[in-house]
A and B are shown apart, each in its own frame.
Chain A
Amino acid sequence: MSDITHPIEHHRDDEGTRLGFWLFLYTELFLFAAFFLVYSVYRSSHLEDFKLAAESLNTGIGTVNTIILLTSSLTMVLSLDALKKGSVKLAKTLLLVTFALGMAFLVIKGFEWSAKFEHHLFLQTAKGIAAGHGSPLLTPGSEMLPVGQVLFFGLYFIMTGTHALHIIIGAIWMLIVFFWMSKGSVNQDNHGVLERCGLYWHLVDVIWIFLFPLYYLVA
């Protein structure tokens, strides 16, 4: 048996790879677009409920989290620039900072979520629905939230949840790239992986840039 390497593998096309990765990012964008479409349709039909429900979200926490995520994007950019300049050590440090900021975002999000759970905003809807109080035709006065708020909190949990899932994937990816940088397989010449990891992280940031005003500000 002779050793045949694949022709594509020793011909590296960085620009082509980036082009493909951007296309992948658009699929992620369209995935969230479906959520945003659902949000905007129900916001237009249940405006008052959405406003009432949004008031229970803490704008301060949302703002802090936005700033954390924006900062992490900056450190990610600086990390890639450092690697391109050849300072692997600085790049690794900045990548760790980015990772830590991502974790901070998740911790804050976690506190926010558990506060909501304590107020039974999620489970109350569950109880109400289980007891058959979900129908908009039934009279209010039961412990059930109005349907508009059920929709709001459902969307809130699922959209921020999906976003958090992306943060986790991005963070794991950073750890892997960090490991590769330590091994030396990701370096000044071969920085494509860090670049793609960064693009992914920025996209997660872009999605949050839209989630933040829709849930915390337009109340």
Chain B
Amino acid sequence: METSPSQSYLNSHTSPKWTGGFMSWFMSTDHKRIGVMYAVAMFSFFFVAVLLGFVMKLQKMYPASSGWEIIPVELYGSFFTLHAIIMIFLFIVPGAPAVLGNFFLPLQIGAKDVAFPRVNLLSFWLYLLGAIMAVVGILLGGADTGWTFTPPYSINTKTISIFGVVFDSISWMLTAAFILGWGTILTGINFIVTIHRMRAKGMGYFKMPLFTWSIYATSWLQVLATPVVGITLLMIVIERIMPVGFFDPSKGGDPILFQHLFWIYSHPAVYIMILPSMGLVSEIIPTNSQKPIFGYKSIAIASCSIAGVGYLLWAHHMFTTGMSDFAAILFSFLTFFVAIPTAIKTFNWTATLYKGSITLTPAMLFALAFIFNFSIGGLTGMFLGSLSTDIHLHDTAFVVAHFHYTMFGGAAFGLIGGVFHYFPKMFGKMYSMKWAKAAFAFMFIGFNALYFPMLVLGYYGMPRRYHTYPDMPIFNDLQMASTLGSWILVTGVIMVFGVWIHALIKGKQTTEINPWNSSTLEWQTATPPTLFNFEEDVEITRDPYDYEAFRGEVKAGTSAGAKNV
């Protein structure tokens, strides 16, 4: 096939050696192809983890005393560990930056690629290597430590050999997590340098779209937090295979210190997960309201202050571990500060809707659901951040529900909404609006039916990570409701995938440049984008969400708008 820079990235290649087929993707340093590859890998893992969660919910349908057992108790421990490892390390931590950040960050700032394209490909390979190692670890013994790998259990537990070979699958999977960590670190470095060095002419820092801002804040967290957990997980490996003491109390270690080091990363990690989705919501809402986002600067600064404050409150995961009262009070106090920038964003999004001409595209529906779910997730987080209520709610289903309201109802809904938003630009194909909206309805209803009862269950004392529960009416009814919700939710997830796959194979071909009539730069290039993104060097003169100026440009013919507006 003849290949030239003015062709769609789907048909032209950066590598002179590999001009077609699998290798032209696998060896490609094109940020758009790398983004698509991440999407394929990540959503596949996501689906596997959804199925694991589905089985766990099925197990909880009836109490054990009724004789109901889908999976034995030992396997349940492996299931929630694997569910979490896949969801966190393979799906939501790389998340929106890896897929949509890779694809759209250079487009949003008018760059031809990221700063270090080959390092970008290396990140993807590291991700893939880590993912394959994790899967191999799962197949050869798995782990039942929980994704937190808390010692001394994670140090002392023996792994079972499956094929007659003794295989330390826990050390293996910790190493996999370490490698995955380097993948995200390199992506973070790449994005920071790209944003600092490669903005188009005229694009000052406060002319960048908000998704770019959120990626910037995320990247800093990736760079400054990930190494800490990387080495901490390796310390567990070292302690498993060598006679040294770090965290094992029998060797003088302090297991709480592990938790400090673990949460020094893993608390900022929840902002790594949520910030990019907040950025996506900040793109979707002004586009589908056709008016400037309310409080642009405050959202941009809020992204950075969430990242900054988010680094300082990790120990609110540890109120019940036996750390000092002083630290508990301090961390509880600091925790409330992160609510401020988060609330600023939420108010700004709702204020943007006011008097907007709102179009309920599938992306918009997911963005609105994000606000709803994330408000519940965020406010329940305040319960857990207060010392006295946390004593009661710690390690109950309440925590699980809170976490899923932020990470699934928030981060994952935002990511899925973002993919719906950008799908036509990425692939030049249009999906079925009707089915996409139906899929949304199933996901939204199923999600709330699954997790809201868990908030109540947790309040009534249902512990997390338990295989079953006592036969009591309040537990039975709520667990049943939650399980039924999981069926609706899984149907919704399958429908979302169905809509995407159908669109890729049989969807209507489109070259419409700006289908949603958006004012930001990434919509001003060809659909799908050409190899080097922009035919000519771009120059920015107006604010990213200045819809008045944008409408003028469309009228004057200097910018592309939607045909049917």
Q: What is the minimal beta-carbon distance from A1 to any residue of chain B, in angstroms?
A: 5
A184 to B: closest C-beta gap in Å: 22
Bound complex: CA A20 to CA B246 (Å)? 32
- Taking a contact as CB atoms under 8 Å apart, the answer to whether B3 and A34 are in contact is no
The answer to whether B230 touches A1 (Cβ under 8 A) is no
CB neighbours of A23 from chain B (8 A): 188-189, 192-193, 223
Which B residues are within 8 Å of any A CB, using their own CB?
2-5, 12-14, 16, 19, 29, 112-117, 119, 185, 188-190, 192-193, 196-198, 223-228, 230-232, 235, 238, 243-246, 248-254, 257, 260-261, 264, 531-532
Residues of B within 8 A of A30 (CB): 224-225, 227-228
In the complex the two chains form, is A151's CB within 8 Å of B227's CB? no
Which residues of B lie under 8 Å from residue A123 when comparing CB positions?
Answer: 243
Contact: A34 with B228, CB < 8 Å?
yes
A7–B193 touching, CB < 8 Å: no
Which of B114, B227, B238 contacts A31 (CB under 8 A)? B227
Check A2/B4 contact, CB under 8 A, given A31-B230, A37-B261: yes
Give 1 or 0 for each of A115-156: 1 = CB within 8 Å of chain B CB: 000000011011001100011100000000011101101110
> Is B251's CB under 8 angstroms from A150's CB?
yes
Interface residues of A in 14-34 (CB under 8 A from B): 15-17, 19-20, 23-24, 26-28, 30-34
How many angstroms between the C-alpha atoms of A214 and B412 in the bound complex? 45
The docked-state distance in angstroms from the alpha carbon of A23 to that of B264 is: 19
Q: Are B185 and A27 in contact (CB under 8 A)?
A: yes
A16 B532 Cβ-Cβ under 8 A: no
Contacts A23-B189, A33-B227 known; list 10 others, CB within 8 Å.
A6-B14, A15-B197, A23-B223, A30-B225, A34-B231, A130-B243, A134-B248, A136-B250, A147-B251, A153-B244
A107 within 8 A of B: no
> Chain B interface: which of A38-46, A56-64, A189-197?
A38-46
Task: Decide: B532 and A7 in contact? CB cutoff 8 A.
Answer: yes
Nearest CB in chain B to that of A156: its residue: B244
Instruction: Known A2-B3, A30-B224; judge A147-B252 contact (CB<8 A).
Output: yes
Residues of B within 8 A of A180 (CB): none
In the complex, the answer to whether B245 meets A26 with C-beta atoms within 8 Å is no
CB-CB nearest in chain B for A15: B197
Q: Does A218 contact B (CB under 8 A)?
A: no
Chain B residues lying within 8 Å of A33, measured Cβ to Cβ, are 227-228
Q: Which of A20, A129, A148 contacts B250 (CB 8 A)?
A: A129
With A20-B115, A38-B261 already in contact, the answer to whether A1 and B16 are too (CB < 8 A) is yes
Of the candidates B112, B226, B246, B264, the one whose C-beta lies within 8 Å of that of A27 is B226
B196 engages A19 (CB within 8 Å): yes
Q: Which one of A8, A19, A155 contacts B113 once the chains associate, using CB atoms below 8 Å?
A: A8
Let me know if A20 and B231 touch, CB within 8 A.
Answer: no
- A179: interface (CB < 8 Å): no
Name the A residues within 8 Å of B116 (CB-CB): 8, 17, 20
Question: How far apart are the CA atoms of A35 and B112 in the complex, in Å?
Answer: 40
Please state if A150 and B2 are interface contacts (CB–CB under 8 Å): no
A-B contact pairs, 11 of them (CB 8 A): A1-B19, A8-B112, A17-B193, A27-B185, A30-B227, A38-B261, A42-B252, A150-B244, A153-B244, A157-B244, A158-B238
Chain B residue nearest in CB terms to A145: B252
A8 to B12, CA, bound (A): 16
Report the bound CA distance from A46 to B245 in whole Å. Answer: 13
Interface contact A148-B16, CB-CB below 8 Å: no
Which of A9, A35, A38 has most chain B Cβ within 10 Å?
A: A38
Q: In the complex the two chains form, is A129's CB within 8 Å of B251's CB?
A: yes
**A3 adjacent to B231 (CB under 8 Å):** no
Per a CB cutoff under 8 Å, which of A27, A130, A150, A153 touches B227?
A: A27
If A4-B3, A28-B227, A130-B243 touch, does A13 touch B257 (CB 8 Å cutoff)? no
Q: Write out the residue numbers on chain B whose beta carbons fall within 8 Å of the beta carbon of A15.
A: 197
In the complex, chain A residues whose CB is within 8 Å of the CB of B3: 1-2, 4
B532 neighbours in A (Cβ, 8 Å): 7
A155 CB to closest chain B CB (Å) equals 8
B244 touching A158, Cβ below 8 Å = yes
Task: Tell whether A16 pairs with B196 under 8 Å between CB atoms, given A6-B117, A8-B113, A125-B244.
Answer: yes
The answer for the CA separation of A9 and B193 in the assembled complex, in Å, is: 15
Question: Measured between alpha carbons, how far is A123 from B114 in the docked complex, in Å?
Answer: 49
Tell me whether B193 and A19 are in contact (CB under 8 A): yes
Instruction: Tell me the complex Cα distance, A34–B248, Å.
Output: 17
In angstroms, Cα B244 to Cα A38, docked, is: 13
Contact B196 A129 (CB under 8 A): no
* Residue among A13, A20, A130 making CB contact with B190, cutoff 8 Å: A20
Rounded to whole angstroms, the CA-CA distance of A102 and B144 in the bound complex is 43
**Do A6 and B29 have beta carbons less than 8 Å apart?**
yes
- Residues of the B chain whose Cβ atoms lie less than 8 Å from the Cβ of A35: 231
Residues of A within 8 A of B243 (CB): 122-123, 125-126, 129-130
Q: Once the chains are docked, how many angstroms separate the CA of A16 from the CA of B199?
A: 12
- Give chain A residues whose Cβ lies under 8 Å from the Cβ of B16: 1, 3-4
Measured CA separation A9–B113 after assembly (Å): 10
Q: For residue A74, give the distance in angstroms from its CB to the closest CB of chain B.
A: 28
Q: In whole angstroms, what is the CA distance A19 to B189 when docked?
A: 9
A151 to B116, alpha carbons, bound, how many Å?
Answer: 41
A21 to B66, CA, bound (A): 60
Residue of A nearest to B182 (CB): A27
How far, in Å, is A147 (CB) from chain B's closest CB?
3
User: 4 closest Cβ contacts across the A-B interface?
Assistant: A147-B252, A154-B244, A126-B243, A16-B197
Asked if A26 and B193 make an inter-chain contact with CB atoms under 8 angstroms apart, the answer reads no
Q: How far is the CA of A135 from the CA of B252 in the complex (A)?
A: 7
Check if A16 sits within 8 Å of B2, measured CB to CB: no
Interfacial chain B residues near A20, Cβ < 8 Å: 115-116, 119, 189-190, 192-193
Which B-chain residue is minimally distant from A154 (CB atoms)?
B244
**Chain B residues with Cβ under 8 A from A46's Cβ?**
252
Query: In the complex, A7→B257 CA distance in Å?
Result: 47
A148 touches B252 (CB 8 A): yes
- For the complex, what is the distance from the CA of A37 to the CA of B3, rounded to whole Å? 54
Q: Are A151 and B251 in contact (CB under 8 A)?
A: yes
A42 to B260: give the CA distance in the assembly, Å.
Answer: 14
Query: How many whole Å from B253's CB to the nearest CB in chain A?
Result: 7
A147 near B238 with CB under 8 A, answer no
When the two chains form their complex, are residues B197 and A13 in contact, meaning their CB atoms are under 8 A apart? yes
A147 and B245 within 8 A (CB): yes
Using A13-B197, A35-B231 as known contacts, say yes or no to A7 and B251 having CB atoms under 8 A apart.
no
The CA of A146 and the CA of B190, in the complex, are separated in Å by 46
In whole Å, how far is B361's beta carbon from the nearest beta carbon of chain A?
33
A13 neighbours in B (Cβ, 8 Å): 115, 197
Contact in complex: A24, B251 (CB < 8 Å):
no
Bound form: Cα–Cα A63–B3 in Å:
61
Residue of A with least CB distance to B106:
A8
Chain A nearest CB, measured from B255 CB (Å): 12
| Cβ of B307 to closest chain A Cβ, rounded Å | 15
Query: A136 to B245, alpha carbons, bound, how many Å?
Result: 12
| A21: nearest chain-B partner, CB-CB | B189
